[in-house]
Structure 1
Amino acid sequence: MTVWDRPKPPNPPVPLDRERIIAAAIALADEGGLEAVSVRKVAARLNAGPMRLYGYIATKDELLDLLVDEVHAEILPEDQPGDWRAALSVLAHRTRQAALRHEWLADLLGGRPTLGPNGLAVAEANLAALDGLADIDTVMRAVETVSAYVTGAIRREIANLRAERATGLSKRDWQRASGPHVTRMLATGRFPALTRAVHDGTEVDAEASFATGLDWVLDAVAAKLTRAPA
């Protein structure tokens, strides 16, 4: 039985509901990351005994499933674009925006599919964007490819944000601090391609980098769709 199939406990002595539990858990995760979330801590946030919550959730994993599904509601747009490329792009950008609001989401993306109603709705929207344009196996591989890019790019961006907070150094400060070492290493001549990238490459911000990479992935999907049988 999944957490979504579990019936609500009848007449709980402390007024609780799943929505209040999820809201408290998300607040804890936003404040302190996933390590700040537990059934006991959520219960304390709600001024309830931990045993009261077990009528709604059995394990921390179930609690995290509920958190992820709740945030998926933020990903699904009210109006889905009719063009497949625009539809996938909107979902990708909204996933990134949700992860920037809830950084802990990056730690839970890319695992087993979420089976809650919002997670299933997002999966449906991704598949529906390509439905009828190719055979179902091609559609599934295309969606998986886009998802893999989005997950990887988000995790990298969140990791950089966490590093900035942990070290107290912005990206520019870190580059300046690391500059002498990098200069010495490049001067050895062992890294010619990296040297060209450092000296001649154009630096862009995280949002522009995400958008460019996503466009390239969607270009690849478009090329595959033109060759795939419907």
Structure 2
Amino acid sequence: MLVWERPEPPDRPVPAPLSRERIVRAAIRLADADGLDAVSLRKVAGALDVGPMRLYGYIATKEELLDLMVDAVYAEIRPTGDGWREVLGALATSTRRVAHQHEWLADLLGGRPQLGPNTLASGNAVLAAMAGVDLDTVVPAVAAVNAYVFGAVRREITERRAERASGMDKEQWQHTYGPYLERTFATGEFPALESMVRDGPHLDADETFRTGLDFVLDGIEARISR
């Protein structure tokens, strides 16, 4: 029986009462502080001041714990609005916001379908907003938005982690590698790339995300209009 359907053990009068919600919240706190490497049933048990074996009545494996963690933060993703475009936009921007609040989520987005109640509710809200559009368009359209969001979020989180690891922010990185690019462009071998670097738009992360999202949504709208 999947964890979503498996009942919790009955309450016991012990010094440290447990529930799946308490376990998951403790795991999220560990992951928010130190990433997914900090999450194990033993470490979560330590954070709750209980023995690891007590957790197995509630969660059988680490994979179940990760699924529960993802579903818990999906409660913070709210695809609301008037019309499919506004709802898909809200899905994208709120997913990005939540992933920046919980960086570890970027490592778990995509892959096998998430089947928790909050994840299912989010998907249902999106599909309901696209009622009236044929499913041959809806399914790949939602997949395209998710693919864009997941890829963009992973790139942003990877860049953030790289900045922390190197100790260089964007301005410092440009100062360090700028002279190399100047010497490279001076060879004349990369004129298109040079034009992009010198004359192209220099958008911040928020502008880049919104612009890319508009491209995806514009394509979906054009497809629906056909």
TM value normalised by structure 2 = 0.96
1:111 aligns with 2:117: no
> Match of 1:215, as an amino acid?
D
**Aligned mates of 1:194, 1:130 — CA distance in 2:** 40
- Tell me how large the CA RMSD over aligned residues is: 1.1
> Match of 1:100, as an amino acid?
H
Query: In the alignment, is the contact (CA less than 8 A) between 1:106 and 1:158 conserved in 2?
Result: yes
**Aligned mates of 1:11, 1:103 — CA distance in 2:** 33
Deviations 1:7-39 (A, max 9, x none): 111244441011110110000000000111000
Task: Report the counterpart of residue 45 of structure 1 in structure 2.
Answer: 47
Query: In the alignment, is the contact (CA less than 8 A) between 1:76 and 1:121 conserved in 2?
Result: no
Task: Report the counterpart of residue 95 of structure 1 in structure 2.
Answer: 95
Task: Report the counterpart of residue 185 of structure 1 in structure 2.
Answer: 184
The Cα of 1:152 is off from its aligned counterpart by 0.6
Query: In the alignment, is the contact (CA less than 8 A) between 1:153 and 1:210 conserved in 2?
Result: yes
Query: In the alignment, is the contact (CA less than 8 A) between 1:40 and 1:50 conserved in 2?
Result: yes
Query: In the alignment, is the contact (CA less than 8 A) between 2:31 and 2:104 conserved in 1?
Result: yes
Query: In the alignment, is the contact (CA less than 8 A) between 2:83 and 2:130 conserved in 1?
Result: no
**Aligned mates of 1:162, 1:127 — CA distance in 2:** 34
The Cα of 1:5 is off from its aligned counterpart by 1.3
The Cα of 1:125 is off from its aligned counterpart by 1.7
Q: How does 1:142-157 map to 2 (within 5 A)?
A: 142-157=141-156
Deviations 1:98-129 (A, max 9, x none): 00100011111111121000010111122222
Task: Report the counterpart of residue 9 of structure 1 in structure 2.
Answer: 9
| Residue ranges of structure 2 left out of the alignment (5+ in a row) | none
Q: Classify the secondary structure of the residue corresponding to 2:75.
A: helix
Size of the aligned set, in residue pairs, is 224
Query: In the alignment, is the contact (CA less than 8 A) between 2:8 and 2:58 conserved in 1?
Result: yes
1:83 aligns with 2:117: no
**Aligned mates of 2:176, 2:57 — CA distance in 1:** 53
Q: Classify the secondary structure of the residue corresponding to 1:104.
A: helix
Q: Identity of aligned pairs, percent?
A: 60
Task: Report the counterpart of residue 225 of structure 1 in structure 2.
Answer: 224
Runs of 4+ deviating beyond 3 Å: 11-14
| Residue ranges of structure 1 left out of the alignment (5+ in a row) | none
Larger displacement relative to structure 2 (186-195 or 29-38): 186-195
2:33 to 31, 34, 48: 31
Task: Report the counterpart of residue 60 of structure 2 in structure 1.
Answer: 58
TM value normalised by structure 1 = 0.94
2:20 to 18, 27, 37: 18
